[in-house]
Amino acid sequence: MADELLIPIAADVDVVTARQRGRDLAAHAGFSSGDQTVIAAAISEIARNILMYAKRGEVTLSLVANGDRRGIVIVARDQGPGIRDVERALEDGYSTSGGLGLGLPGARRLMDDFDVSSGVGKGTTVTMKKWRRQNA
């Protein structure tokens, strides 16, 4: 399996593909089945955000190592309208789309590292990491 995967997001079936690839890669990297599920759910949320706010974009999946820690990195990138207030977008229940408002904050809770960079009119990039737990 390649260590970096790029999944274009332009339709709802791509959201399913992205999270399935993410789960496969996480399994390949030795994540527990609980963590595989968590990773798939987080990918689903941010991939859907691309679809909802930017219509199209991409998700890349790759593996990283830091010392003896192994992890998975997920980057979701779009050229959409961007987020005006990143702080607020990360608050629970805040939504401009009529959704549950759990997309970004939910994904952040599921992952170990979470970073959003966005500017109005400049698109949005979400980078998130999950580290494999020792002994798990």
Residues that bind other proteins (CB under 8 A): 12-13, 15-16, 19-20, 23, 33-34, 36-38, 40-41, 44-45, 48, 92, 99-100, 102-103, 105-107, 109-110, 133-135
- Taking the least distance from each CB to other proteins, the nearer of 42 and 120 is 42
CB of 19 to other proteins, least distance (A): 6
Task: Write down the number of H helices and E strands in the chain.
Answer: 4, 5
The residue assigned the tokens 């593996």 is 63
Distance CA 25, CA 88 (A): 31
- Taking the least distance from each CB to other proteins, the nearer of 14 and 78 is 14
Q: What is the crossing angle of helices 33-49 and 12-28, to 10°?
A: 150
- Taking the least distance from each CB to other proteins, the nearer of 11 and 120 is 11
Give strand pairing partners of 72.
63, 130
- Taking the least distance from each CB to other proteins, the nearer of 28 and 122 is 28
Distance CA 107, CA 38 (A): 9
CB of 36 to other proteins, least distance (A): 8
